[in-house]
């Protein structure tokens, strides 16, 4: 998929809505820009908050079980 875009005097690039939708870009976001040979590669940067739901698991814990697991982790982590 190719698109012709404009680059402003300030170096800003408009990204077509179809491309933003394909990458799940909603509103302002950060991107990683890379120069590779004679190409400019722009990749959306994933923030911590954008990762929500990406690590879903079938494991279900109650609040009590989660606190116990966290306490055990804290104790074991500090021993190393």
Whole-prediction pTM: 0.53
Largest CA distance in the chain: 57
The string of pLDDT tens digits covering residues 42-80 is: 998 876 666 666 667 788 889 999 899 889 988 888 665
Q: Cα-Cα-Cα-Cα dihedral of 12, 17, 47, 50, to 10°? A: 170
The string of pLDDT tens digits covering residues 9-18 is: 999 999 999 9
Write b or e for each residue in 1-27: b if 16 or more Cβ atoms lie within 10 A of its Cβ, otherwise e: eeeeeeeeeeeeeeeeeeeeeeeeeee
Domain ranges of the chain: 17-79
The secondary element (H helix, E strand) that includes residue 22 is helix 17-22
């Amino acid at each position: 998929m190719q698109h012709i875009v404009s680059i402003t005097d300030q170096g800003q690039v408009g990204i077509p809505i179809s491309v933003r939708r394909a990458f799940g870009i909603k509103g302002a976001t950060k991107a990683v820009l890379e120069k590779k040979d004679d190409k400019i590669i722009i990749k959306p940067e994933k923030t911590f908050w954008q990762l929500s739901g990406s690590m879903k698991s079938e494991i279900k814990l109650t609040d009590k079980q989660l606190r116990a697991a966290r306490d055990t982790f804290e104790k074991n982590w500090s021993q190393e």
